[in-house]
Chains A and B, each alone.
Chain A
Amino acid sequence: MIRLAIAQIDTVLGDVEANLETHMARIDEAVQAKADLVVFPELSLTGYALQDLTAAVARRPMADDPVFQTLLTASQRTDLLVGFVEHDKRHRIYNSAAYLSQGEILSVHRKVYLPTYGLFDESRFFAWGDSIRAFNTRFGRLGVLICEDFWHASPPYLLWLDGADILLFISASPGRGLDAEQTLESARWVEHVAQAYASLFTTFVTNVGRVGFEDGLGFWGGSVVFDPHGELLARGPYHEESLFVVELDLQQLNRARTRLPLLRDERTDLVQRELLRIRHSGLPESGKRPE
């Protein structure tokens, strides 16, 4: 059993200190609620639409960075997943998420798919991440993806094959598509795909969204947790801050995969064979990205 805390927060645009304070307050609350892990949204330490602030808020996820020092100390009390702007040794800047546990950084995921269309301009400001890896924690093997990463089907699929039984998605998605429905079109889309991944991969899937505004962009919150049967375990409020705890019963993985042995039957060799064929086919209609 894991007690997962969802920290559906608002952020201050470009003020890491202020956002760190919010994190510490939420971590305190989560620890009081006996959470094992607190998940914050995408770019939770910086805010989303950073534009030319991007470089100014970038950090190295190391123990000698004061912000990470504070978070690493806090990770003695509960595991943490935080979103931040990462600066690498060669001065490239990534939209990243760090998983911290018991004073250690266990994993840093760099966003692999940077939306640069419509209202998005991420690849103007960020470098592309280049790996998708599950990692071991004291609760088992997890996988982390950032927003647009899971708008593509392959990253969740790879994490599933790489052993992740809990997929932690974090988002800072501006709400859009007001129509007659109860929720925004963008919120419905994200819930659909998160639920679909939980069902298809018989795995736990959570998406943690943020709230608040940056200029006219409004973030809808509505964080969701689905179990390995694809059933909704919990949903955060729309357009409001919230911290809530969800219990994940890992025994459900056993029951779901006995009922529906999709993981057992997955044919990775076939997938690889066909991918290689498609990659080398040179067919213009293939999904291969031109190099």
Chain B
Amino acid sequence: MKQDEINLEINPALARKILTGFIRSETSRVGFERAVVGLSGGVDSSLTCALAAEALGPENVMAVRMPYTTSSPDSLEHAGLVIEMTGVQEVTLPISEAADALIGAIPEDQQVRRGNIMARMRMIVLYDQSAEFHGLVIGTGNKTEKLLGYTTQFGDAASAISPLGDLYKTQVRPLAVEMGVPEVILEKPPSADLWIGQTDEGELGFTYEEVDKLLYLLVDRRHSPDDCVDAGFDRGFVENVSELMRRNHFKRVMPPIAKLSNRTIGYDFLYMRDWGT
């Protein structure tokens, strides 16, 4: 196996067609006409907002900005650019006060706990906005972060549908370019912006470019970890990524139900969510 088997190129126009169709279909068939998107000012949420606006009409999309005290002021500003560009509706609801009621009791050095509270507080705000605006919550997560488990369960991972969930981080970018996401957003280092100076790549310890290639071989091409080492990936890196995927699988599935009866949800009670629609 060679590195040249790796092909992360996408046709952005085709992805745009499919994903806007998906958002339209999966929103309308559950009885909604509108959507709610948490807009951080990063690439993923900017792209999701643009796709939702195209799919449903900008007047039917509510972009929710949810800054915390330590959030970068750039985030709010970049989200503003996307709101302006797409013409979606907008509400800014700072989470600082609500989050601090819980975060106050957590030592400052426990950044992950504090970050998780922020992510889950945003989930609460989004689902409340869903009720207020009668909009379906559109997730913004991508395939890379889902596979690595670089998400907060019931936080940013919570949504009704996930249009970007089968695109690696490096594939999100060309689609974001296609949709006209502003250059300044495309150029900045990806960050969950949960604490000052946090970057995804800094926290993960590798770049998206590297890890997407590896994930593509492991997942899409079904290669073994040994194959990937043969292809030139560092063994420690391959093992680390494989273990992250395995360990975080719980975030990608529904909680297992203990089987007792002859027919159990998830095992032998099987229906698509689009059942009857």
Which of A's residues lie within 8 Å of B, judged by CB? 12-15, 49, 51-53, 175, 178-184, 212-216, 218, 238-239
Contacts and interface: CB of A to CB of B under 8 A. Distances in A.
A239 B17 CA distance: 8
The prevalent SS among residues of B at the interface is loop
A179 B18 CA distance: 13
B11 A178 contact: yes
B10 A179 contact: yes
Interface string B155-186: 00000011001100000000000000000000
Contacts of A178: 10-11, 14-15, 18
Nearest to B24: A213
Nearest to A52: B270
Contact of A53 (B11, B17, B22, B271): B271
B21 A218 contact: yes
A166 to B, nearest CB: 31
Nearest to B269: A52
B274 A218 contact: no
Contacts of A213: 21-22, 25-26, 274
Given A49-B272, A213-B26, A12 B277 contact: yes
B9 interface: yes
A13 B25 contact: no
Interface in B1-58: 7, 9-11, 14-15, 17-18, 21-22, 25-26
B265 to A, nearest CB: 11
Given A213-B22, A214-B272, A215-B273, A179 B17 contact: no
Nearest to A54: B270
Given A53-B271, A216-B165, 6 more contacts: A13-B274, A13-B276, A52-B268, A178-B11, A179-B7, A218-B18
A239 B275 contact: no
A218 B219 CA distance: 20
B259 to A, nearest CB: 16
A239 B274 contact: no
Which label, helix, strand, loop or mixed, suits the secondary structure of the A interface? loop
A215 B11 contact: no
A180 B9 contact: yes
A12 B7 CA distance: 35
A239 B270 CA distance: 27
Which are the 6 A-B pairs with shortest beta-carbon distances? Answer: A180-B9, A51-B270, A213-B25, A52-B270, A215-B272, A49-B272
Given A15-B276, A239-B21, A182 B14 contact: yes
Contacts of A53: 271, 275
B274 A180 contact: no
Contacts of A218: 18, 21-22
A186 to B, nearest CB: 12
A182 B11 contact: yes
A14 B276 CA distance: 5
Given A12-B276, A52-B269, A216 B22 contact: yes
A175 B18 contact: yes
A254 B17 CA distance: 41
A180 B21 contact: no
A180 B15 CA distance: 10
Given A213-B26, A218-B21, A238-B17, A179 B11 contact: yes
A215 B14 contact: no
Interface string B245-274: 000000000000000000000001111111
A175 B200 CA distance: 31
A180 B271 contact: no
